[in-house]
Structure formats: structure tokens, C-alpha cells
Structure 1
Amino acid sequence: MKKLFSLTKTKIRLAQQAHTVGMKPQPLILPEKFFGEKIGGVSEAEKFMQKRKNDTNYNNQVDMAKTSLCLFEIIEKVKYEYEPPRYRPKAGEDEFRQAAEHAKEGLEVWLSIMEGEQAGQQPMVYVGEDPPENCIHLGIPVSTAIIFLAYAIKNAELSEENHFKNMVVSKGRDTLLGSTLYYSLRRLGFRG
């Protein structure tokens, strides 16, 4: 969690240095869903981050998982002014509807984190470099997964009562952020 808070703080600082005021899109979805907090700007995101740093119950894995996903969303949404296009999200709602349709048919949606060609199952949704063919490539940074997750938490086929359903997560390369995302998703309804 320390690393994720530190990265969030850095991304907010970089956004402020780039004179970023708002976020794309706004308000943030996960802080509102999980904690009832409406966040529409960089300064509000900074206050929310500080509040979660103080208020998160570090003995409660679900609370930590929700906080982690909110921090990933802040990271992803504040960087649009200064992040090179290569590191921006590659997919949007049109592609995400395919995943929801997949779940509607009674099939599980697979999210693969940095497995590359190692992915045993053909992942439907992928984050990382070297995506397999025929997948929804969310982007290279782990934080780009949050764009899909923010969509999924609002979709009845993919979530229920702020927990995900009909989804499986797998990970390849072992990185701190990849592992944080993986274990957060496991605590919030993804099968592993």
C-alpha cells in the first residue's frame, strides 16, 4: 500500500505541475461507489488520497482492496495531460460491452495482468505489453485496467453490490503494482 500511495502522490504532483485541474472522465467512479466520495478534480483527488491513507483499515483486506482500486483510478485519471500516448488506455466502452455480453451468455470474463504470450487461457481483457491476439488490450501500465473495472462496477452482468462477478483474474510478471491489483480483485469477487 505504501508504494501505491507514493505513486498516487507522485502522479498528482506531476498533474499539478502540468497545470491539470480536472480529470478525464469525471467524477471518479470507484471512490463514489465504494466510499460515497465525489471527486472531480486533482485537488479533490489529493484530499481523498490523504483521507484514505488515514482512514483505511489495514487489518481489513476488503477495505484495503477498495482503497487500492480507488488509488489506481486516481493515477489513471490525473495523468491525461502529461502522460505520453503510448501509456494511455487503448480501449473504451465499445470494447467493454463485448465483455459484458460475454458474461451475459454465462461465460466468465478473463482479465490477464502482464502474462504476454504466457497466457494459458485466451484472455478476453489484457493489461501489459505484448498482448495476445483477439483480446481487449487495455494498455501497458497496470493502472489502465481501472478503466475497464470502473465500467464493470456499474454493469449488472459484471458486478453486484460493489463486488465483481463472472470474472477471473490471472497474472504473469510479478511486480508490486500487478500483485496489488491482482490481490485487490481477488478480495472483490474475481476468481483466481
Structure 2
Amino acid sequence: MGAADAAAPRYPSTIAAPVEHELVVKKSRFLALVHPVSSVPEADEVVAAVRKRSWDARHHCVALVVGPHAEQQRSTDDGEPSGTAGVPMLEVLRRRELTDVVAVVTRYFGGILLGAGGLVRAYSTATSEALDLARLVRRSAATRVTVDVPHADAGRLHGVLRDWVGSHDAGLADVAYGAAARFTLLVPPAELDALDAAVAAATSGSVQPERGGTEVLSR
């Protein structure tokens, strides 16, 4: 690991798309939904939609983690004994180092009491098994870099940069056309010098990428 890699902050991952999963324990049905979100209000909307769809269920237990560094964390047992549902679900999200995700487990009671330990296992297992089916989106620190070129060179450089980001774990965030063509890239710190070299080679040294602040790159 190089110095740039060691200095780069680590970010929790998220999931690419919603996933639903059903777990049956002693005739009780636990319907788990894990859903990517970008804010607490968006998570609340997901929970509200689940409550509306499964209006006849006894419990809708929730755990959510939001923020680049998982700063916002909440859970609710929704009528289950305290600490037997939301907190175990939240612990699953924490152990997997996830953020920007809400988990909702809807329970249809099957007539057999599970006890506190059984509920903890059921809610955590339902959440964990749903996440097993989800595709992870990795996040890492990246430097925002802009490259300005004359319009006449834009087409050729666009191809060069598109190929470059694909082989260097980087991202081409935007292409804008004003007085010049401006390419905006998100580049891992360890790859900045390689980008400088690639642009110099493609433009005979006439273009110098401009480095900006640090952002989060998802892929």
C-alpha cells in the first residue's frame, strides 16, 4: 500500500438496489426489505410505503444508517419487546459497514411466541439474508479533477479518458461544453500522477489536469 492509499479515508459501502426476502420462523413471517437511500426523509418514505402496502401486519421494525461516514443511525422495535428487533437489525448494518440504507422487517405473527432470543435471531437473520442477496456498492475517497481542452480535441480526449477511468478505478463524472470542453473526473489519490501522465501523452504536454477537493467515489 502506497502513502496515498494509507492517507485516503475509508468510507462504508452501500447497496445498489432494493432487495426483499422472506423468513419463516415457527409460522411467523418476517418480510425483510433493504433499500438504498440518500437521507433520513427518503428512508421515512420507504418505511411509509411498506406500512401502507402491508397495513395488516402486526409490526414494521426499522433500522437505518445514513451519511458518508454512517453518521446518522436509528432503529425502532415498533411494538416488539425493547431491543429485540430494531437494534439487532442495526447491528447487522454496522457489522457489514454499510451506510445509506434502510432495513424494514415486517412481521406477520404466526401464533407461537418466539421469546426475546428468538426475536433477536429472527430479525437479525431476516436482515442479514436480505443483504446477502444485495449487490454492494463500494465507496472510496477520490479527488475531483478537471481537464479543459479545445473543442477540436474533445472527441479524441474523451475516448482516452473514458478508457483510462475504466482501468484505474476512477470515474468520469461530467462533460461540459462552454468556451472549452471540460471533463470532470473522480480519481483515487494513488492514480493522480498516472492521470497527469496519460493526459500529457494524449495532448503532447499542452494540457495540465487541475486537482480539486476530495469527494466520495461509488462503484
Class of the TM-score when normalised by the shorter of the 2 chains: under 0.3
TM-score normalized by the length of structure 2: 0.20
Structure with the higher fraction of residues in helix conformation: 1
TM-score normalized by the length of structure 1: 0.22
Larger-Rg structure? 2
Structure with the higher fraction of residues in strand conformation: 2
